[in-house]
Structure 1
């Protein structure tokens, strides 16, 4: 994302200034583009396990399994995306004009195009499946009477809030990811077709627009947490007050006094409209 900001916002091409920066730029782009949705999928799987009514299934939701899964996924993507360190280099497109780009062989370009397209489609499908199953689990929990609900599940209020945040994140990723997936699939199919200048301009516009959408999907997470999670809003408020040197306890006491005062006013109004029997 930093590279896109420097390139599109300030027209700064750091990746064209050095071979090392060029390789690291593409490698980091491939790595984090795959690692971020992978972690989101693993978190969604964890919430899916803990929302299950089966006790044995809920036992799989543990920190140890989470650390192990994230470690294995990280190592896999680090090794798998190492092709960018080999095949990406400063390519000379004109005399004394070097651009950081992939190896110009058609085989590697086909590999990159189809890998990006297939990878995005797989991520989107997994997100949709996990969202559907998590939504079904929550509906089953909501349909159980409140008296017996605590006997068959171990989800706390924070678990529900985290599940809600992840559900919204998954929906956002699916919406933005589906658009980019459609574009990458279309780009992989039609990349060897020669178009007019107008068609090439549209293609470049769509590429820049999809890059913006792709970056936006990772930028709205903090706003999602603020809107969806009450606990996150409270922690954010507490952090802000701690930075500016104010104590949050008196503020919370003042809010509680205001809530109690409003509740007393409501009770007084209710009592005042009750007619005593004659």
Structure 2
């Protein structure tokens, strides 16, 4: 996201002047763009485990397992994407014009592999979300007395976190698949002669789709603000703490006002 701001917004292309910066720019971009959906999948698996009807299955939802899974996947993608460091380089397009990109015979592999990986990721998110949603519906159908006797059943914050995760998955699926389709289109039509109008349209489409592709990576804060009441309360507490206000006094005042409203609503007028 930051690199896109510098390149598209301020026309700063430092990666085109240094081979090391070029390789790091592409490698880091591919790494984080792949790691983010991987974390979403791991979070979806965690929500699926904690929403399970089986007590033993719910116990697998632990912080230790989460750290281990993230570490393993991080190492895997670092090794898997190492080929990007080898195949990326700076190429001369015209006198004084250089571009940090892949070799011509390697663009097809990167485009198609990115599309396949993205389709697998999106499909996995959809499947996990469906199963989690089914588990939640089953939990809501269980009587409250039976829920209290179960171990590590989902709390209100768990439900809010699950809704936030659903929103994350939906936003990622919508905004990420389009850029990969464009890359496949570009790889399939790279040998065709392009007119000036077509080049302008493709350049605009690439910039616009790149902007959409970056939305899921910076939407977490807004998703939690809109969906999670607990997050809004915690954010309010932090803001009040920064400005030196007492959050407990404000909560007591809010509760007092709510109690007054409840009492007023329960008063029956005397005829």
Whether TM exceeds 0.5 here: the answer is: yes
| 150 and 193 in structure 1: CA distance in 2 versus 1, 3 angstrom threshold | farther
Match of 2:149, SS state, is helix
Cα distance in 2 for partners of 1:98, 1:189 equals: 23
What secondary structure, in the 3-state scheme, does the structure 2 residue paired with 1:272 have? coil
TM-score with structure 1 length normalisation? 0.90
Whole-angstrom distance in 2 between the partners of 1:129 and 1:149: 26
Contact persistence 1:117–1:188 (CA under 8 A): no
Alpha-carbon distance, 1:45 to partner? 0.6
> Which residue of 2 is the match for residue 272 of structure 1?
269
**Is residue 2:36 matched to residue 1:39?**
no
How far 1:29 moved relative to its partner? 0.3
**Whole-Å Cα distance in 1 between the matches of residues 122 and 101 of structure 2?**
27
In 2 relative to 1, CA 192–127 (structure 1 residues): closer, same or farther, beyond 3 Å?
farther
For residues 72 and 158 of structure 2, the distance between their equivalents in structure 1, rounded to whole angstroms, comes to: 25
Q: Is the 8 A contact 1:27 1:81 kept in 2?
A: yes
Q: Is the 8 A contact 1:24 1:85 kept in 2?
A: yes
Q: Distance in 2 between matches of 1:40 and 1:260?
A: 40
| Equivalent residues of 1:225, 1:232 under 8 A apart | yes
Distance of aligned partners of 1:24 and 1:93 in 2 relative to their CA distance in 1, 3 Å threshold:
same
SS in 2 for 1:193: coil
**Displacement after TM superposition at 1:94 (Å):** 2.4
Partner of 1:207: 206
Q: Deviations over 1:132-185 (max 9, x none)?
A: 111111111112222223334621222111111111111111222233343344
Return 5+ residue gaps in structure 1 as ranges.
none
* TM-score, scaled relative to structure 2: 0.93
- Note if contact 2:111-2:180 (Cα within 8 Å) is conserved in structure 1: no
SS of equivalent to 1:192: coil
Regions of 4+ moved over 6 Å: none
| 8 Å contact kept, 2:179–2:206 | no
Name the count of aligned residue pairs: 270
1:78 is displaced (CA, Å) by 0.9
Q: Please give the alpha-carbon distance, in whole angstroms, between the structure 2 residues aligned to 1:85 and 1:120.
A: 20
* Native 8 Å contact 1:114 1:185 kept in 2: yes
Q: 1:187 to 1:142 in 2, by over 3 A?
A: farther
Report how far residue 194 of structure 1 moved.
Answer: 3.4
RMSD (Å), alpha carbons: 1.8
Deviation of residue 129 (structure 1)?
0.9
